[in-house]
C-alpha cells in the first residue's frame, strides 16, 4: 500500500481497504442521489418543515432566561458602565470629548512623537520614523478625530482582552478540565463571523462605543487564551526545577519563572489581540461605533472612492504600525544593565521621550497648527483622486461591465443554480464520504454532524449560496495564489519580498478589500466575490511558499544528482512534499473566504451574511447565532477534513 493511501485511511492495511471501499460506496450513493433527484421524495431533496428544528427560538429562550430571569443584564450593564467610564477618559484625552478628566485633547504632535519613541525603542530608527510619520499623515489628511475615536476603543479593549485571556489561559493550563471545556468553545468562537458577536452584545448592552468596545473584547480574547496556554505548556521542566530548587512557591514559580519564560508566546498573543481589536473596531461601525470604520462605510455606500481610498490608507498604515510594534515587542529581549550604570543611561529613552513631548506641547501652545489640524487646513487629495478615478472609469467601465455581465450570466448564476439544485441528502452523503476517506467513521460522523445542523436550521438554501461563493472564490484564489507562490519560492529574495507582502496584507482589516472591487464592479455579487478572492489569495500564496521552502534540502540534492530538471524536481519532489502545508493554506483560504463573504453581504449578496445583517438590525439573537453557527460549522467541517488529512499525510511522509 502506498503512503498516500495510508495517510488517507489510517495505519491498518485492512482497515484502510475497508475505509476506502465504504468511502467510495458513499461517493457513488451521493452521485446517485443527484442523478435520480427527480425520483426522490421531497423530504430527501430539501429538509421539510417537520424536520426543521427551532434553534433560534431555543437560543432566544435561553438568552431571555439568562438576561431577565437570572438578571445577567444587570451584570453586563454594570461591566459596560465601567468600560464606558474608561472610554470617556480615553475619548477626552485623544479627541477632546467633554468627559472627565477634561484635560484633552492631547496635541497631535505629542501623540506623533510618542508613536515615534515607541517604534524607536522597540526596533530602531526605521520603525520609529514609520510610526511617527503615520500619525503625521493622519493629522495632515484631516482624519485625526476619526482615528482617535478608533484608537480610544482599542486602548481600552486591548488591556481588558489581554487580562481576561491571560487569566483564562492560566486556568486552562492549571486544570485539564478547563482546557477540555475551553477547546470546543474557542474553536467555535474563532470560526464565528464578526456579526454573530454583535447581536447578543446589542441586546445586552445597546449600541455605541461601549458596545463596540465590549464586542471587540469578546472577539479578541480567544487568541490570547490559546497563546497563553501554548506558552505555559512549552516551558521546559528544567527551568521549573531550577525555580523549585530556589525555594519558590507556586505563585512565585508562575510569576517569576513560567510567565517570563513563556513571554514570547504571550506577546504573540498580545499581537493577535491588537490586530483582532482593530479588525472588529472597524466593523463595529454597524452597531454605532464611530471612527474610521463608520466613515469608510458611509463613503463606500455613497461610492465616494477617492475619500474611501484615503481612509483605507489610514487604516492600513495604522494596522501595519500596530502589527510591527507588537511583533517587535514580542521578539525584543528585556534590557539588562551592569551594576553601577548611570541612571540616565538606563532611562535614556524615557528622558528623550519626555524632552520631545515637552517640545511638542510648547510648539502646540504657540502654534495652533501643531495642536489641531482643522478640516480646512488639511492636505486631503480625495477630490483629486475621485476626479482621476472618474476619468479612469470612463475608459475601463465598458470592459468591467462586460466582464461583470459575463461572470454573472455565464458563471455565477449557473453555478449558484447548480448548488441550489443539489439534494441536501446528496451533499450530506458526499461529505460523509470525504470524511470516511480521510479518517474513517469518526471523521465521517463529524462532517455529517456539522452539515446536519445547517440542514436542520432551515437555512440550507442560503448556506448553499454562501458555499457557491466561497468555493468559486477559493478556486480562483488557488489558481492565482498557487502559481504565484511557486514562482516566488524559486528565489530566496523573491520569497522574502512576497512573504513580507503577505504578512502586511494579513494585517489589513477585511473591510479594506472591498474598496478596489467596489471601485471596479460597483455593488453586486461580482464585487463581493472579487473581495473574497483578493482576501483569500494571501494565505494561499504564503503557505505555498512556506511549503516549498521547507522541503528537506537532502531530497532536493538527491533529485539533482539523479539528473532531474527544475520542473521534474517541482512535480515529483517539492509539490508532493509541500502538499500538506499547501492544503493548510487552502484551509486558511476557506476560513478567510467565509469571513469575507459575510462581511461583503453589506454590498448586496443574498447569502447567510445578508440574513445575519437583518438579524443584527432587528436584534434577533436566536436568528443571528443560528446563522453564525451555520457559518462556523461549515468552516469547522472543512478545517477538520483538511487538517486531519494534512496531519496524516505529514506522518506518512515522515514530516510530522
Give which of 33, 14, 34 is closest to 440, Cα–Cα. Answer: 14
446 to 442, 451, 452: CA distances (angstroms): 6, 9, 10
535 vs 2, more confident:
535
- Whether the predicted pLDDT of 364 surpasses 90: yes
Counted residue by residue, the chain has a size of 656
- 77 Cβ partners below 8 Å, 6+ apart? 204, 205
Taking CA 170 as the corner, what is the angle to CA 168 and CA 172, rounded to the nearest 5 degrees?
70
Please report the pLDDT score of residue 75 as a whole number: 87
All CATH 1.10.3720.10 domain ranges in the chain, comma separated: 71-97+108-332+367-380, 397-421+458-617
CA separation for the pair 219, 280 (Å, rounded): 7
Report the 10 Å Cβ neighbour count for 471.
Answer: 14
Please report the pLDDT score of residue 157 as a whole number: 95
Q: Up-side HSE of residue 28: CA atoms within 13 Å toward CB?
A: 6
Distance of CA 168 to the CA centre of its chain: 21
Please report the pLDDT score of residue 314 as a whole number: 93
Give the tens place of pLDDT for each residue, 426-481.
999 999 999 999 988 899 999 999 999 999 999 999 999 999 999 999 999 999 99
Report the 10 Å Cβ neighbour count for 187.
Answer: 16
CA separation for the pair 189, 90 (Å, rounded): 28
Topology of domain 397-421+458-617, per CATH? MetI-like fold (1.10.3720)
Please report the pLDDT score of residue 173 as a whole number: 94
CB 536 within 8 A of CB 474: yes
Topology of domain 71-97+108-332+367-380, per CATH? MetI-like fold (1.10.3720)
CB 532 within 8 A of CB 469: yes
- Whether the predicted pLDDT of 10 surpasses 50: no
141-150, 158-167, 382-391: segment of lowest average pLDDT: 382-391
Give the tens place of pLDDT for each residue, 577-629.
889 899 989 999 998 888 888 888 777 677 888 899 889 888 899 999 999 99
- 556 Cβ partners below 8 Å, 6+ apart? 569, 573, 574
Residue in the block written with cell 477534513: 641
Positive or negative, the Cα torsion across 621, 627, 632, 637? positive
| DSSP state string for 351-409 | HHHHHHHHHHHHHHHH-GGGT---GGG----HHHHHHHHHHHHHHHHHHHHHHHHHIII
C-alpha cell of residue 112: 506623533
CA separation for the pair 556, 566 (Å, rounded): 10
- 591 Cβ partners below 8 Å, 6+ apart? 191, 635, 638, 639
Amino acid at each position: 500500500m502506498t503512503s498516500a493511501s495510508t495517510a488517507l485511511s489510517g495505519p491498518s492495511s485492512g482497515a484502510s481497504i475497508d475505509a476506502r471501499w465504504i468511502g467510495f460506496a458513499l461517493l457513488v450513493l451521493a452521485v446517485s442521489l443527484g442523478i435520480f433527484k427527480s425520483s426522490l421524495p421531497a423530504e430527501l431533496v430539501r429538509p421539510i418543515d417537520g424536520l426543521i428544528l427551532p434553534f433560534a427560538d431555543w437560543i432566544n429562550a435561553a438568552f431571555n432566561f439568562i438576561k431577565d430571569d437570572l438578571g445577567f443584564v444587570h451584570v453586563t450593564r454594570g461591566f459596560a458602565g465601567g468600560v464606558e467610564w474608561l472610554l470617556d477618559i480615553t475619548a477626552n484625552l485623544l479627541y477632546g470629548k467633554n468627559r472627565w478628566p477634561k484635560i484633552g485633547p492631547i496635541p497631535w504632535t505629542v501623540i506623533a512623537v510618542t508613536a515615534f519613541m515607541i517604534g524607536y525603542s522597540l526596533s530602531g530608527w526605521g520603525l520609529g520614523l514609520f510610526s511617527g510619520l503615520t500619525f503625521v499623515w493622519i493629522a495632515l489628511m484631516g482624519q485625526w478625530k476619526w482615528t482617535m475615536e478608533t484608537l480610544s476603543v482599542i486602548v481600552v479593549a486591548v488591556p481588558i482582552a489581554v487580562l481576561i485571556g491571560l487569566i483564562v489561559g492560566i486556568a486552562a493550563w492549571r486544570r485539564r478540565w478547563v482546557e477540555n471545556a475551553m477547546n470546543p468553545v474557542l474553536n467555535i468562537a474563532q470560526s464565528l463571523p464578526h456579526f454573530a458577536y454583535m447581536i447578543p452584545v446589542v441586546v445586552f448592552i445597546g449600541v455605541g462605543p461601549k458596545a463596540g468596545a465590549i464586542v471587540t473584547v469578546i472577539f479578541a480574547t480567544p487568541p490570547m487564551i490559546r497563546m497563553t496556554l501554548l506558552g505555559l505548556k512549552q516551558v521546559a521542566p528544567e527551568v521549573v526545577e531550577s525555580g523549585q530548587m530556589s525555594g519558590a512557591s507556586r505563585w512565585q514559580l508562575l510569576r517569576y519563572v513560567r510567565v517570563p519564560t513563556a513571554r514570547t508566546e504571550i506577546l504573540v498573543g498580545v499581537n493577535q489581540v491588537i490586530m483582532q481589536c482593530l479588525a472588529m473596531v472597524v466593523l463595529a461601525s454597524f452597531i454605532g461605533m464611530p471612527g474610521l470604520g463608520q466613515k469608510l462605510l458611509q463613503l463606500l455606500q455613497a461610492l465616494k472612492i477617492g475619500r474611501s481610498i484615503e481612509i483605507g490608507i489610514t487604516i492600513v498604515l495604522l494596522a501595519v504600525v500596530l502589527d510591527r510594534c507588537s511583533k517587535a515587542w514580542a521578539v525584543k529581549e528585556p534590557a539588562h544593565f551592569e551594576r553601577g550604570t548611570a541612571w540616565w543611561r538606563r532611562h535614556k529613552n524615557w528622558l528623550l521621550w519626555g524632552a520631545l513631548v515637552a517640545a511638542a506641547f510648547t510648539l502646540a501652545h504657540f502654534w495652533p497648527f501643531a495642536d489641531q489640524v482643522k478640516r480646512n487646513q488639511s492636505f486631503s487629495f480625495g477630490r483629486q483622486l475621485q476626479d482621476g478615478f472618474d476619468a479612469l472609469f470612463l475608459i475601463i467601465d465598458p470592459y468591467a461591465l462586460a466582464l461583470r455581465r459575463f461572470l454573472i450570466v455565464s458563471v455565477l448564476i449557473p453555478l449558484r443554480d447548480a448548488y441550489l439544485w443539489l439534494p441536501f441528502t446528496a451533499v450530506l452523503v458526499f461529505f460523509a464520504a470525504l470524511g470516511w476517506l480521510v479518517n474513517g467513521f469518526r471523521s465521517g460522523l463529524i462532517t455529517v454532524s456539522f452539515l446536519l445542523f445547517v440542514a436542520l436550521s432551515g437555512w440550507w438554501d442560503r448556506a448553499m449560496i454562501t458555499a457557491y461563493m466561497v468555493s468559486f472564490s477559493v478556486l480562483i484564489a488557488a489558481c492565482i495564489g498557487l502559481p504565484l507562490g511557486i514562482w516566488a519560492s524559486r528565489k530566496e529574495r523573491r520569497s522574502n519580498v512576497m512573504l513580507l507582502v503577505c504578512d502586511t496584507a494579513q494585517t489589513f482589516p477585511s473591510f479594506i478589500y472591498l474598496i478596489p472591487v467596489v471601485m471596479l464592479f460597483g455593488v453586486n455579487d461580482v464585487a463581493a466575490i472579487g473581495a473574497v478572492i483578493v482576501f483569500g489569495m494571501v494565505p494561499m500564496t504564503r503557505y505555498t511558499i512556506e511549503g516549498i521552502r521547507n522541503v528537506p534540502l537532502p531530497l532536493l540534492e538527491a533529485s539533482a544528482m539523479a539528473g532531474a530538471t527544475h520542473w521534474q524536481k517541482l512535480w515529483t519532489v517539492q509539490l508532493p512534499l509541500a502538499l500538506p502545508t499547501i492544503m493548510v493554506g487552502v484551509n486558511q483560504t476557506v476560513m478567510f473566504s467565509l469571513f469575507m463573504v459575510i462581511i461583503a453581504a453589506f454590498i448586496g449578496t443574498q447569502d447567510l451574511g445578508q440574513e445575519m445583517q437583518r438579524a443584527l438590525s432587528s436584534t434577533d439573537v436566536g436568528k443571528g447565532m443560528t446563522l453564525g453557527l451555520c457559518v462556523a460549522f461549515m468552516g469547522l467541517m472543512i478545517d477538520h477534513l483538511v487538517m486531519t488529512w494534512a496531519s496524516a499525510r505529514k506522518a506518512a511522509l515522515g514530516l510530522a
